[in-house]
Structure 1
Amino acid sequence: MGFFDFLKKSAAPAAPAAPAFPLVLAADAKGTIVPMEQIPDEVFAQGILGQCCGIDPTEGKVYAPIDGEITQAPDSGHALGIQGVGDVEVLIHVGVDTVEMKGDGFSPKVKVGDKIKKGDL
């Protein structure tokens, strides 16, 4: 073993960072918060997909609530899945029955695999 061989060894991959709880999410849109129980979609109102809230938007823009990677981006543009630090998963779903719009009115700015930062459009 040579003197500088320690420099040639690759370091073990770092473990993913654990999220700090409570995890603070930014709002994904400007508007009025709607409590989970008042969302007009039973899947979300009952928390079937997890804890959530709604936002009655005042503009047609959606922002990243956390840093992460886009893991889901259906062609309809009505939803996005984001994988954040420590395997925290966030689903952004726009509207009620919007999947039936087949993309009309949506212009996604990201695609699967894109890295995003909190606040990105």
Structure 2
Amino acid sequence: MIDLMVWLLAFCLTMPIVISWLVYIIAKKVSNNRLKALHVSVNYTTLLYILSVGAIFHQLYGTTYYGYIFIFLIVLLSFFIIMQYKVKGEVLFLTAWRRFWRLSFLLFILLYFLLVIYGITAGILAV
């Protein structure tokens, strides 16, 4: 049973695109709305991309970067909160969180693709 859980976690961290697609398909079947399904998919798989990027960094460079990723995310959230305070004069944390979470998804999916391409080319050139 533990082997199955480890295998499932490893699959999720290795192939977050597949998990995002599955979440999107399920949400689309439930809601019959493509935009809502996309939002659900983004909201539920962002953490998976963050963990995947950390795992790829660990695989490529042999050290963990989760601390740096966490600090980056805290600074990014702080930026959204400060910008919302400057623009609106009040902070609606839920709005700041949504913007932060969606930008995190975009940044980490882009970083995921770039690191996968870098890892593949580095592996090919090392042979």
Q: What is the TM-score with the length of structure 1 in the denominator?
A: 0.22
Please identify the structure whose Cα radius of gyration is greater.
Answer: 1
Q: What is the TM-score with the length of structure 2 in the denominator?
A: 0.22
The structure richer in strand per residue is 1
The structure richer in helix per residue is 2
